[in-house]
Amino acid sequence: MRPRIFFISVLVLALRACNPVQLPANLTGTPVGISNTAAPSEAVTCTPLPTLLFIPVVSSPMLVQIAFQDTCNGWGVSSNGSGAILRTVDGGITWLNATPPGLTAIGYSAGLSVLDINTAWVLGPSTDFFNGTLYHTSDGGLTWTSVAVPFGGAGLQFLDASTGRALANRGMALGSNSVELYQTSDGGATWLSVFNNDPTRPDAPGSLPFSGIKNGMTFLDTNIGWVTGTRPVGGEVYLFVTHDGGVSWEQQSVPLPAGYEAYQYMPQAPVFSESVGFLPLMIYLPDNTSLTFFVTHDGGISWTGDPTNATSIVTPGNYAFADDLHGWSWDGGENLYSTIDGAQTWSKKSANLDLTDRLAQLEFIPGSTGQFIGWALASTDDSGLSQLYKTYDNGSTWTPLIP
C-alpha cells in the first residue's frame, strides 16, 4: 500500500530575531515564546526552525513518554484528551502539538521511535493490537505519511531513515510469549515478516523459543540483534542473539560467578553507545533484588560483569547512558547512582527531588561545558497530571519544567 501524505498547515513568515514570536490569528493555541533556559553551569540558547513556531501549543501536557536529541529538541507523547504527539524546541519548557491528522486515542499504547530532531515514527495500534497504522515524518512533524501495518503492539527500532525492525507481540499463555519480527528497508512503507515462533510447535534449536516472556529488542546493525526476556529457570539469562537479521536465533552465554547458578535473572534489551554496549541485568537474590550492568566492547560478541562486586550493583530503577562512560540509575527516591567508568563502578549521590514510585523515564545527554543535562519524567499523580524535571549538574539539582 502506498503511504498517504498528510499536511499540517504552516505559515512561514519573515521573523526579526529581536521580535517576540506570535501565533497567527487563524491558528489555535497559546503564542509560543522560545526562552533561553539558562542555568549557572549551562547557559543555552535555543534557535528552532521558524516554521515549527506556528504549531499550536499544548498547555500542561500529560506526558507519558519523552525522547530528547539535544539540549533543545525533543519529542513526546501526551495523554491529554485523546492524546497528542508533541515537539519541544526549548528543552522541554514548551510543547507543540505535532499530532498526525487522523491519529486518535494516543497515550500509553502509542509507539514512538525517534531517529533525530526531524525523523520519527508513531505506531497507532488497532483495538485488537494485531494491526495498526504507522505514521512517519522527516521534517520535524510538519508533514506525515501513514501506512497500514500488520502489527499494533510492537517494539520499534530504526537504525537509519530506511532500516527498521518491529517486534510484534502475538499473545501470551502460561509464561510463554509468541512474537513476530518484521523488517523494513524503505523507512516503514513496506514490512517483511522474517521470523514467527509458532506456539503450536515445541521450542526448536536455532529459534527464538515460544517459552518465556519477551521484554525488549535491540539491533546493532542490519544483521546482529538481541531479544531479551525471562522465564523461571535458575541460572538462565534469557538473551538470544541473531546474526542473520532475525531469521535464526541462539541463546547467548553470559558468564555468571560461582554460587549464582541458582538465582533467577531478567535482562533488559541492550543499550549501545558509540563503542560500548550495556546489558541491564536484574538479579533476584534470596533477600533482595539487585540491578547490575554487563558490558561489551566487541559489539556484543562477549559480555562481562561482576555481580559479586558491591560497587557494580545498584537498586533497581530507571537508567540512562549519555556516552561510553557516563550513566545514571535512579529509583526516583534516595537511590540515585552514577558511573563515570562505563558501569564498572557506581557511586551514590543525593538529589533535591523525590519521585519515589513515580519516576517513569530518565534521559541524559552530554552538555557543552563538561556537565550532563538530564530529564526526569514522573508518572501521573492522583490529580491526573504528570511532571517533567530538568537537571544541568549531572542529576544533583532538578528544576520543574511542567509542575
Which amino acid is located at 222 in the chain? T
The pLDDT value recorded for residue 14 is: 28
In whole angstroms, what is the distance from residue 238 CA to residue 227 CA?
A: 8
Among 316, 315, 337, 317, which residue's Cα sits nearest to residue 328?
337
**How many C-beta neighbours within 10 Å does residue 15 have?**
12
**Nine-digit cell string for 238:** 534469557
Which amino acid is located at 96 in the chain? L
The pLDDT value recorded for residue 109 is: 85
DSSP 327-385: EEEE-SSS-EEEESSTTS--EEE--S---TTTEEEEEEEE-SSS-EEEEEEEPP-TTS-
The pLDDT value recorded for residue 204 is: 58
**Which residues neighbour 21 within 8 Å (Cβ) at sequence distance 6 or greater?**
15, 31, 32, 33, 34, 53
The pLDDT value recorded for residue 195 is: 93
- Report yes or no: 36 and 44 within 8 Å, Cβ to Cβ: yes
The pLDDT value recorded for residue 207 is: 83
In whole angstroms, what is the distance from residue 308 CA to residue 315 CA?
A: 14
Q: pTM score, two decimals?
A: 0.86
Counted residue by residue, the chain has a size of 403
The pLDDT value recorded for residue 30 is: 30
Cα dihedral sign, 176-255-274-396: positive
Per-residue pLDDT tens listing for the chain (403 residues): 444 333 333 322 222 222 222 222 222 233 233 333 444 444 467 766 555 666 788 888 999 999 999 999 999 999 888 889 999 999 999 999 999 988 888 888 899 999 999 999 999 998 888 899 999 999 999 999 999 999 998 999 999 999 999 999 988 888 899 999 999 999 999 999 999 986 666 555 678 999 999 999 999 999 999 999 999 999 999 999 999 999 999 999 999 999 999 999 999 999 999 889 999 999 999 999 999 999 999 999 999 999 999 999 999 999 999 999 999 999 999 999 999 999 999 999 999 999 999 999 999 999 877 889 999 999 987 777 889 999 999 999 999 999 8
- Report yes or no: 15 and 21 within 8 Å, Cβ to Cβ: yes
In whole angstroms, what is the distance from residue 236 CA to residue 219 CA?
A: 22
Among 89, 97, 98, 96, which residue's Cα sits nearest to residue 35?
89
DSSP 18-37: TSPP---TTS-SPPP-----
In whole angstroms, what is the distance from residue 48 CA to residue 34 CA?
A: 8
